[in-house]
Structure 1
């Protein structure tokens, strides 16, 4: 019989791709100048404005153009598409990036694009009358999250470990896949004891009342960048100027969103979504507060990747020493200013 622990481990093996699969990927189309592509194929997210999309609208990409090839439903799928050459960049939770690299996939993380801070975070919520008050109270309880083996489960594991639970005790906690749009309802109907909520879904649930946070990822780790955009080593070697334009533009967009009044950022995003004409609901954009990137212009320090190297090794998903953090990322293509991010009230308004 498959145990919950083995199921968790099996999930992450799905993130791996062989070097053979990557070597068979197609190269980017639409080259110019010195043979470098100036068109970047990518996947978007329905109803959201990604940082590259914001950078393009702000004019930061110059003559580099984005070519939307469809929407993705998960970070692991997005970086797999980049690794196999179906797109030119993709973004995912850093644990998925580590796992992909552990399978000898020649990719590099080039810039952070989302994270957790006081405005952008995931909370683990229980009903107000719930007896759950600590990590130990979660034994035998169901925790609903968007997917297993990714950010939400990692935060849960860290919380349980810090609560002093043994491996056997942690295995008694049951993470379940619950679509984010159904998480609040599942919690209120007591189908699960804990719901992971973020963004608009969190804010709407809190406005309704009757729930309280057990913990948040921001409380757990402080401000940290949680996901990175990756490009293949092949793409970076063949298109260094384009990569530099892209990464620097995304870094500038991060700082623009951090220092621009929140209402102006939301208005710009709303305009972007309307202009692209994909019949998307712009209502959720009014809840935007921050991309949550911790470092200036999305520069990668290594610690945000080392955290997941250690987590995956402890779980047995990768071997200790299998992945070196210095091999995972580069800031070579980020020419954004290095000044500290401004502390802005722009993301703290209602």
Structure 2
């Protein structure tokens, strides 16, 4: 593992979501390939180093039809990814549904079309301490540092819900300090006592558990069960001008999600590894062996209303959006997804 990377001028706990408002304003004058009269089948997007996204899997399986993916770099977080889509720097982006709802509330002209990650018994995020840590309860987090990949997104929301369900008042929540730590550095940061709690998910979680010496305080699966947690969004002008492209993309990604769900795991991992090697981005594919699931609840990535409503309620309770301003049904659509049209 690498040494801890210090993030200069990290956003305050609630300040990160404020950046979304800036993105929403910029979206009003941003440009995208959907803004021209010419329709497009080329979709610009950001990836993630060392991992395979559902669209990348769909493209490799040949499920996207005439649609091609144009990788423009790697994203640093979900909120950053959907901001890039909102401002026209990319054509689609994905983030935690709470961040999508927040960006929508700020006036960004975006709509979610398909789920791309979630939580189940195989794919979940845990809040981990060292085995000898004195932290055993929500109140034990007072004055402690909790390392996570970004603020104002999935992990902070789950932390707040955990604290609230365990009797911590809104005022006392501020005694817990979420801290931005790059995911690849989180395990080492915990072991070096630079943070008190590490949020770990997916292959990074499984590797850390295999290394030993850590224990779970709680997980989002323990707290909330199985659910899809994040969606891909497009700008509304792109959707209006390129409905066939979005349909091909969404339905192809849905098909890839089901391929990963029903194909023997070793074959899925082998496919991911081959994609990494083939695309030649100088990535380490060794952690792919820990992949178990995308965690997506709905068949083919179909979005359920509760998967937005839960986080809209949280945003309202936190004062992030005015109560009643955002309705879940206005933030997403399943109309481009063939799995929804088939009644799945």
Relative to the length of structure 2, the TM-score reads 0.92
Select 1:312's aligned residue among 312, 315, 322. 315
Distance in 2 of aligned mates of 1:98 and 1:222: 21
* Alignment of 1:12 onto 2:5: no
Deviation string 1:289-344 (CA, Å, 9 cap, x unpaired) is 1111111111111111111111111111111112111110000000127576xxxx
* Alignment of 1:45 onto 2:44: no
Displacement after TM superposition at 1:8 (Å) = 2.2
The residue that corresponds to 1:136 in the other structure is 139
285-294 vs 13-22, which moves further:
13-22
Distance in 1 of aligned mates of 2:189 and 2:42: 43
Q: Which ranges in structure 2 are unaligned for 5 or more consecutive residues?
A: 1-10
Q: Which runs of 4+ in 1 moved over 6 A?
A: none
Q: Does the CA-based 8 Å contact 1:17-1:105 persist in structure 2?
A: no
The residue that corresponds to 1:23 in the other structure is 28
Q: Does the CA-based 8 Å contact 2:101-2:308 persist in structure 1?
A: yes
SS of equivalent residue, structure 1 residue 273: helix
The residue that corresponds to 2:166 in the other structure is 163
The residue that corresponds to 2:293 in the other structure is 290
Distance in 2 of aligned mates of 1:216 and 1:128: 16
143-152 vs 237-246, which moves further:
143-152
Distance 1:23 1:188, change over 3 A: closer
The residue that corresponds to 2:151 in the other structure is 148
Deviation string 1:29-52 (CA, Å, 9 cap, x unpaired) is 799xx9421111111111111111
204-213 vs 254-263, which moves further:
204-213
Q: Does the CA-based 8 Å contact 1:29-1:39 persist in structure 2?
A: no
Relative to the length of structure 1, the TM-score reads 0.90
* Alignment of 1:247 onto 2:254: no
Select 1:87's aligned residue among 87, 90, 93. 90
Select 1:56's aligned residue among 55, 59, 79. 59
The residue that corresponds to 1:347 in the other structure is none
SS of equivalent residue, structure 1 residue 225: strand
The residue that corresponds to 2:114 in the other structure is 111
Displacement after TM superposition at 1:185 (Å) = 2.3
Select 1:120's aligned residue among 97, 118, 123. 123
SS of equivalent residue, structure 2 residue 14: helix
SS of equivalent residue, structure 1 residue 144: strand
* Alignment of 1:229 onto 2:208: no
Q: Does the CA-based 8 Å contact 2:258-2:299 persist in structure 1?
A: yes
Distance in 1 of aligned mates of 2:263 and 2:343: 16
The residue that corresponds to 1:330 in the other structure is 333
For residues 67-86 of structure 1, the aligned pairs below 5 Å read 67-86=70-89
Q: Does the CA-based 8 Å contact 2:34-2:242 persist in structure 1?
A: no
Distance in 1 of aligned mates of 2:120 and 2:279: 29
The residue that corresponds to 2:208 in the other structure is 205
Distance in 1 of aligned mates of 2:35 and 2:194: 51
SS of equivalent residue, structure 2 residue 178: strand
Q: How many residues align?
A: 333
SS of equivalent residue, structure 2 residue 276: helix
Distance in 1 of aligned mates of 2:316 and 2:27: 24
Q: Does the CA-based 8 Å contact 2:23-2:83 persist in structure 1?
A: no
Distance in 2 of aligned mates of 1:65 and 1:283: 27
